[in-house]
Amino acid sequence: MNGTAIRYLYLARHGEAAEDESRLTDHGAQQSVLLGKRLRHSPLATVHHGPLPRAAQTARLICDQLDGVRPQPSELAGDYVPHLPERDELPPDAADTIVTRLSQFPAEERGGGPALATAALARFAGPADGDEPHHELLVTHAFLISWFVRAALDAPKWRWIGVNPANAGLTVIRYAPGRPASLVFFNDTGHLPEELRRPGLPPDLRV
């Protein structure tokens, strides 16, 4: 986090996944291609992605639209719970619901998640090394995007909960030396037609 150059961190949730999460749906593949086309003229130097199939496939489809950028797998971009709050961290009226919900996630996602989340911030957040602005994309999952947004806004650690990234939505955070992180935009789905914007959002949200 002591770099000397501006870093623009692009964050994208994978495209819509099939029910068994082994691949993208046709809609998810379309979302990924359209996101890649949107990023075609951006100065991206690197595309990282989580190890699960839905993130890897999304990254490949994005990179197919880019010139000379190949996807690079990263365990840090995986699907895990980034922070397990204690009950007294949480708003009293929501604590029981949140604790119960988080307890239902697999043990491996809960147990190793906080360490991975801390390492992900150390690796991808903050100014970059060098003299030129650095642009990189992280194709990942909803929880990790929520974690980066929470950190950029200097919100309490538990507040990753309730942030709701859309499939193939684009978030960009700017890290400049000597300045607080800047959330340039969040969950932008302007590259998607209406019928491809809804997957990943609450079913009662129609905007």
pLDDT of residue 172: 98
Whole-model pTM: value is 0.93
Question: pLDDT for 137-191, tens place per residue?
Answer: 999 999 999 999 999 999 999 999 999 999 999 999 999 999 999 999 999 999 9
pLDDT at 114 over 90: yes
Phi, psi of 171 (to 5 degrees): -120, 140
Question: pLDDT for 16-70, tens place per residue?
Answer: 999 999 999 999 999 999 999 999 999 999 999 999 999 999 999 999 999 989 9
Residues in CB range of 192: below 8 A, 6 or more apart: 31, 34, 35, 168
Residue 139 host element (H or E)? strand 134-140
**Tell me, what amino acid is at 89?**
E
